[in-house]
Structure 1
Amino acid sequence: MKLTKIILFVTICLLSFNSFGQSWTADNRNGTYTNPLFYDEFSDPDIIRVGDDFYLAGTTMHCMPGLVVLHSKDLVNWTFMSYAIDSLSLGPEFNLRNGKEAYGQGVWAPCIRYHNGMFYIFTNVNNHGMQVYMAKDPKGPWTHKSMNSKIYDLSVLFDDDGKIYAVYNYNEVRMVELKPDMSGVVEGTEKVIIPAGNNMGEGHHIYKIKGKYYIISANYAPCGRMQCARADNPFGPYETTVISANETLGFQVGWWASNVYMGDSQVPEPGYKFKLSPPGGNRYGAVPLHQGGIVDLPNGDWWGWSMMDFMSVGRTTCLSPVTWQEEWPYFGLPGNLGRSPRTWIKPNVAATTTPSAPYLRSDDFAGPKLQPVWQWNHNPVNTKWELNKKKGSLRLRTLPAKDFLWASNTLTQRVVGPESYATAVLDASALKQGDYAGLAYLNIPYASLGILKTKDGFILRFYDQCTDKTIEQKLAVDKINLRATGDYEKDISQFSYSIDGEEFINIGDSVRLPYQAKTFQGSRYALFAYNTTGVEGGYADFEDFKLVEPLADRSKNIPVGKIITLTNLGTDQLVWANPHGMMHSQGKNSSEATGKGVQFKVHDRDKGQVALEALNGTGFLTVVGIGISGDVRLMKEESKGSLFQWQDMLHNQCMLLSLKTNRFIGLTPDSTEPYAADRPGALPNRKDGTVFVWKVLE
Structure 2
Amino acid sequence: MSDPLHAWSRRRMLTAASGLTAAAALPLAHSAHARPAAASPAVGSHAAGDAALATYTNPVLWQDFADIDIIRVGDTYYYSASTMHYSPGAPILRSYDLVNWEFAGHSVPVLDFGSKYDLDGGRGYVRGIWASSLGYRPSNRTFYWVGQIDFARTYLYTAPSVEGPWARHASLGSVYFDAGLLFDDDDTPYVAYGNTAIHVAQLSPDARTQVRSRQVFSTPPSVGTLEGARFYKINGNYYIFLTRPANGQYILKSTSGPFGPYEMRQVLLDLPGPIAGGGVPHQGGLVSTPDGGWHYMAFTDAYPGGRVPALAPITWTWDGWPVLQLVNGAWGQSYTAPLPLRPVAPMTGTDTFPGTRLSPRWEWNHNPDTGRFSVGDGLTLRTATVTADLYSARNTLTHRIQGPASTATIELDCSQMADGDRAGLAMLRDSSAWIGLKRDGGTTRVVMVDGLTMDGDWNTTGTGTERASTGFAGSRIWLRVQADIRPGAGRQARFSYSTDGSGYSPLGPAFTLNNAWQFFMGYRYAIFNHATRQLGGSVRVARFDLTAP
Distance 2:350 2:514 in 1: 25
Distance 1:536 1:413 in 2: 25
Asked whether the 8 Å contact 1:397–1:529 carries over to 2, the reply is yes
Aligned to 1:473: 470
Distance 1:473 1:107 in 2: 40
Asked whether the 8 Å contact 2:409–2:545 carries over to 1, the reply is yes
Structure 1: unaligned runs, 5 residues or longer: 1-28, 254-286, 551-698
Shift of 1:250: 4.3
**CA-to-aligned-CA distance 1:131-181 (integer Å, 9 cap, x gap):** 111123233222211212211211122223554322111122122222222
Amino acid at match of 1:331: L
Asked whether the 8 Å contact 2:81–2:91 carries over to 1, the reply is yes
Asked whether the 8 Å contact 1:433–1:537 carries over to 2, the reply is no
Distance 2:165 2:351 in 1: 25
Aligned to 2:277: 252
When Rg is computed on C-alpha atoms for both structures, the one with the higher figure is 1
Please tell me whether residue 462 in structure 1 is matched to residue 441 in structure 2. Answer: no
Asked whether the 8 Å contact 2:216–2:261 carries over to 1, the reply is no
Aligned to 1:549: 548
Asked whether the 8 Å contact 2:70–2:78 carries over to 1, the reply is yes
3-state SS of paired residue (1:243): strand
Distance 1:211 1:63 in 2: 39
Distance 2:244 2:379 in 1: 46
**CA-to-aligned-CA distance 1:510-566 (integer Å, 9 cap, x gap):** 111113456421111111000112x2131111122111101xxxxxxxxxxxxxxxx
Distance 2:229 2:84 in 1: 18
Asked whether the 8 Å contact 1:439–1:525 carries over to 2, the reply is yes
Amino acid at match of 1:486: A
Aligned to 2:127: 105
Shift of 1:368: 3.6
Distance 1:101 1:57 in 2: 24
Greater RCO, 1 or 2 (C-alpha within 8 Å, sep 6+): 2
Amino acid at match of 1:240: M
Asked whether the 8 Å contact 2:242–2:283 carries over to 1, the reply is yes
Distance 1:301 1:496 in 2: 47
1:485 to 482, 486, 495: 482
**CA-to-aligned-CA distance 1:18-47 (integer Å, 9 cap, x gap):** xxxxxxxxxxx9711111121111111111
Asked whether the 8 Å contact 1:122–1:154 carries over to 2, the reply is yes
Aligned to 1:380: 368
Amino acid at match of 1:328: W
Please tell me whether residue 122 in structure 1 is matched to residue 122 in structure 2. Answer: no
Please tell me whether residue 160 in structure 1 is matched to residue 185 in structure 2. Answer: yes
Amino acid at match of 1:50: V
3-state SS of paired residue (1:151): coil
Aligned length in residues: 477
Structure 1 pair 491/184, CA: closer, same or farther in 2 (3 Å)?
farther
Please tell me whether residue 58 in structure 1 is matched to residue 55 in structure 2. Answer: no
Asked whether the 8 Å contact 1:321–1:340 carries over to 2, the reply is no
Amino acid at match of 2:323: Y
Structure 1 pair 427/175, CA: closer, same or farther in 2 (3 Å)?
same
Distance 2:540 2:376 in 1: 9
**CA-to-aligned-CA distance 1:383-431 (integer Å, 9 cap, x gap):** 1111252xx4534335312311111111110111111111111221211
Asked whether the 8 Å contact 2:426–2:527 carries over to 1, the reply is yes
Distance 2:282 2:346 in 1: 22
Asked whether the 8 Å contact 2:151–2:177 carries over to 1, the reply is no
- The structure 1 segments of at least 4 consecutive aligned residues displaced by more than 6 Å after TM superposition are none
Shift of 1:343: 0.7
Distance 1:136 1:371 in 2: 19
Please tell me whether residue 171 in structure 1 is matched to residue 196 in structure 2. Answer: yes
Asked whether the 8 Å contact 2:55–2:335 carries over to 1, the reply is yes
Amino acid at match of 1:469: T
- The root-mean-square deviation of aligned C-alpha atoms, in Å, is 2.2
Shift of 1:469: 3.4
Structure 2: unaligned runs, 5 residues or longer: 1-51, 454-463
Asked whether the 8 Å contact 2:413–2:542 carries over to 1, the reply is yes
Distance 2:334 2:544 in 1: 32
Task: Report the identity percentage.
Answer: 34
Distance 1:214 1:419 in 2: 38
Please tell me whether residue 344 in structure 1 is matched to residue 343 in structure 2. Answer: no
Please tell me whether residue 41 in structure 1 is matched to residue 41 in structure 2. Answer: no
Distance 2:482 2:348 in 1: 19
Q: What pairs with 1:365-376 in structure 2 (closer than 5 Å)?
A: 365-376=353-364
Distance 2:286 2:220 in 1: 24
Amino acid at match of 1:323: T
3-state SS of paired residue (1:462): strand
Asked whether the 8 Å contact 1:360–1:371 carries over to 2, the reply is no
Aligned to 2:494: 494
Aligned to 2:117: 94
Shift of 1:182: 2.5
Please tell me whether residue 315 in structure 1 is matched to residue 307 in structure 2. Answer: yes
Structure 1 pair 67/359, CA: closer, same or farther in 2 (3 Å)?
same
Aligned to 2:509: 509
Distance 1:358 1:90 in 2: 32
Asked whether the 8 Å contact 1:462–1:470 carries over to 2, the reply is yes
Aligned to 1:414: 400
2:263 to 217, 239, 246: 239
Please tell me whether residue 69 in structure 1 is matched to residue 87 in structure 2. Answer: no
Distance 2:452 2:380 in 1: 29
**TM-score, length basis structure 2:** 0.82
Aligned to 2:290: 298
**TM-score, length basis structure 1:** 0.65
Amino acid at match of 2:200: M
Structure 1 pair 250/365, CA: closer, same or farther in 2 (3 Å)?
closer
Aligned to 2:523: 523
Distance 1:548 1:482 in 2: 14
Q: What pairs with 1:192-211 in structure 2 (closer than 5 Å)?
A: 192-197=216-221, 199=223, 201-211=226-236
3-state SS of paired residue (1:405): helix
Asked whether the 8 Å contact 1:307–1:315 carries over to 2, the reply is yes
Distance 1:358 1:481 in 2: 23
Structure 1 pair 383/154, CA: closer, same or farther in 2 (3 Å)?
same
Please tell me whether residue 332 in structure 1 is matched to residue 339 in structure 2. Answer: no
3-state SS of paired residue (2:259): coil
